[in-house]
Amino acid sequence: MALTDYWKILRPNDGFLAMLGVLVGFFVSLGFIGFGSFLIPLILALISVFVISGAGIVLNDFFDSEIDKINAPQRPIPSGKISKAQALNFSILLFAFGLLLAFFINIYAFALALLNTVLEIFYARNFKAMPLIGNLVDSWFPATTFVFGALIVLSFEKVLWLAILAFLVNMGREIIGDIEDIEGDKKLNAKTLPILFGESKAKILASVFIIAGVALSFVPFMLGLLGFYYLIIVIFADLVFLYSLTRTPSENQGLTKIGMFIALIAFIAGLF
């Protein structure tokens, strides 16, 4: 056991993405003028979301330790580098630290952090194996990183649209990801939407979520919340999302990531 094993089990890249969500949510809410007065709560929020995200990942690995012996034997728990007890204690410590940091931002940030902590626990233990509910909760987490950033300045009008669009696209992406994993999930007796209802129906439902996100992406411009640069760039994101629906599940996963990144740029550009 080494410190690098504890760092590895956090899967820090996911944590850094959550931090990016907080940053984007913060600047979309506030703009770029006067952010210095919120520097300390912003730093607390960035660390908090990284830590809580990592805690959820560690807890997932704790509950998935038997499955990971087959699917991901190189991970710290199945490889024996970290014991299940050590992983559980590490997760508890991370959750507690993340909540403590959120408490010093404001009561609203603490409430969201607490809600997501509870959802992380139930997701890892129960919801992940439940069709649709697991997808809903897993899409909720990235969407609320933007809201967490907005809670620093308590301004939500623009960010709520970003969160809604992120949630819808992530829902579609999650369901298509289940289609990609269908063979492995069948071997593990998982009850995902493609297994229960078939790949075609799952693809239709995923498409509905992504197309709904594309349709709603024009609303922030129509309401005058974001400027012309937003409209131009978000059209490119929408085209990527729509194109992803014509590709294979594995290609869809990469394309939707690209589309989400373009959409984030659109929201930032729309401030100018």
CATH of the domain at 149: 1.10.357.140
Q: Is the dihedral of CA 160, 164, 124, 49 positive or negative?
A: negative
Residue 190 has pLDDT above 80, yes or no: no
| 8 Å CB contact between 232 and 263 | no
Query: For residue range 218-259, what is the model confidence (pLDDT) as tens digits?
Result: 999 999 999 999 999 999 999 999 999 999 998 999 999 999
Whether residue 49 is found in the same domain as residue 121: yes
Same-domain check for residues 15 and 141: yes
Say what the pLDDT of residue 182 is: 79
Domain count, the chain: 2
Domain that holds residue 228: 157-272
pLDDT, one tens digit per residue, over 96-118 is: 999 999 999 999 999 999 999 99
Which residue in 169, 171, 150, 174 sits closest to 160, CA to CA? 150
Q: Are residues 258 and 202 in the same domain?
A: yes
Question: What is the spatial distance between Cα 118 and Cα 167, in angstroms, rounded to a whole number?
Answer: 19
213 and 112 part of one domain: no
